[in-house]
Amino acid sequence: MKLEPIIQSEVMSINCSLWQDNSMSVKHFAFTKFSEVTEQCWLLFSLILLMFLASLTGNALIALAIWTNPVLHTPMYFFLANLSLLEIGYTCSTIPKMLQSLASEARGISREGCAIQMFFFALFGISECYLLAAMAFDRYTAICSPLHYATRMSHGVCVHLAMVSWGVGCIVSLGQTNYIFSLDFCGPCEIDHFFCDLPPILALACGDTSHNEAAVFVVATLCISSPFLLITASYGRILAAVLIMSSPEGRRKALSTCSSHLLVVTLFYGSASVSYLRPKSSHSPGVDKLLALFYTVVTSMLNPIIYSLRNKEVKTALWRTLGKKKL
């Protein structure tokens, strides 16, 4: 009979009792271990660290290249720079703590720290949903109303659209985080995830959480579906406009400017929809962790690659930025 799992369970139970105050509400949590095999943890640590550094470097370089090159001071690249900043915040809100958990036994997090992590994760994720919709609207205006593009997508309009994206993300994430952490958590204190995501935290709450789960589902539906419908409508109009173009070169250029954004939208919305909009009965901790790892690390790493490989202006700006650094 293996005693190690039993001993670990007893230790966690003791820790839970130590992490409760007089109201019996858990004040500290701990993330589950990825594996009991040390070699597997270090291999996973190395892979995630490499993807994390690649994501930070790629997104930071794109944002820097756009801000330092006047040629790229256009609405499309303004939104792309904002997207890169969101991706940096998105990964930094979750991955460092996961790397710490993989590299050491320090898997604990306070209730306040968990709430802060959840707030920033939701902030960057929801803001990205709406920013991707703003980027689709920009492409729609550029292709379907080119004569009015300069006035409809002026610098002021772009700034307001970006502020709305960030503002909606802030308001919704603050409300959701406050709503969830107003609950009591009676234990167990172990979070079956690698960061403080909404569903696994709700699973630890006391009593009936059906209203909270319904609120999470409604917010996820609105914040994922409504921007996605705007994106779909924009690209429907774009496709109709492209099909009636008489110039093959014009069609190629229009599709080229949209292909990168469409690929990013597919990766982001695909993984987010599967994670938050599928039935609760089909959820499993292993699948949820893999999906979360995909949309927090992999998509953030792929985005700068997608935009730099498929956009000559971005590639040129990146080379200029790197050249200046070498000097």
Task: Report the candidate in 41, 47, 77, 51 with the shortest Cα–Cα distance to residue 62.
Answer: 77
Mean pLDDT of 187-209: 82
Q: What is the reported pLDDT for 159?
A: 95
Instruction: Report domain extents, the chain.
Output: 35-322
Residue type, 142: A
pTM, to two decimals: 0.83
Percent of the residues in the chain that have a pLDDT greater than 90, as a whole number: 23
Instruction: Write the pLDDT tens digit of every residue in 4-31.
Output: 444 444 444 444 444 444 445 677 888 8
Dist CA 233 CA 247 (whole Å) = 24
Q: What is the reported pLDDT for 183?
A: 83
- For β-strands 108-110 and 190-191, DSSP reports them as unpaired
CATH assignment of 35-322, among 1.10.357.10, 3.40.50.1980, 1.20.1070.10, 3.40.50.300: 1.20.1070.10
Q: In what order do the strands lie in the sheet with 190-191?
A: 108-110, 28-31, 190-191
Q: What is the reported pLDDT for 24?
A: 53
